[in-house]
Amino acid sequence: MIEGRNVKIRPLKEKEIGLFFSFLEAAMIKNEFLPFDIIESEFCFKKEFQSDGLWKENNGMAVILDFEDQIIGMISYNKAHFLDAFELKYIIFDEINRGKGYMKEALKLFSNYLFSSKKINRIQLTIPNYHRASIAVAQKCGYVFEGIAREAIFSNGEYLDVCVYSLLRREIKH
């Protein structure tokens, strides 16, 4: 478990699968979360969890908890194609928990964790260009803007531009 001042990050527990899936599903319905792979059903999600705990060498998913051990969000990593990098995705599920610094702290903690535990030199974020709050989190965590990937993702019936941010191992602040 990774602990900060206001959040904890750890792998999902089996007893939390139903609740966590309902949070993910609600976020996907609102089109707030773009997963690595489309999660088709709770059954498939549970099956994947049972096979590897949603935590492997090149990809994984962890929950973000407040200090009352309530799930407030998630953060995940995935090995980028063609690059020596991990790509991160993250979300705070309930709007009531947004804007409180939870994601900023979680992103810093998780980035430090990945650099200290994995042989990786680069972590990148691809953020839809309309998502200003997520862009602000990236910037506050020291991620550097690299450019726009034009019409790089298809979401809700349209192609969207995404902002690419990265953090290199040598740039991490301890």
Domain annotation for the chain: domains and CATH numbers: 2-124 (3.40.630.30)
Average pLDDT, the chain: 90
SS3 assignment, position 47: helix
- Residue in this structure with the two tokens 């200003």, named with its chain if needed: 132
- Give the residue from 89, 146, 87, 85 showing the smallest Cα distance to 121: 85
Q: Is the pLDDT of residue 6 over 60?
A: yes
Report pTM.
0.91
Residue 30 CB partners (closer than 8 Å, separation 6+)? none
C-alpha–C-alpha distance, residues 46 and 98, integer Å: 27
What is the mean pLDDT of the segment spanning 127-144? 93
User: According to the model, what pLDDT value does residue 43 have?
Assistant: 87
pLDDT tens digits, one per residue of 63-118:
999 999 999 999 999 998 888 899 999 999 999 999 999 999 999 999 999 999 99
**DSSP code, position 10:** E
- The residues facing 153 across adjacent strands are 160
**Residue 60 and residue 76 in contact, taking contact as beta carbons nearer than 8 Å:** yes
Q: Is the pLDDT of residue 35 over 70?
A: no
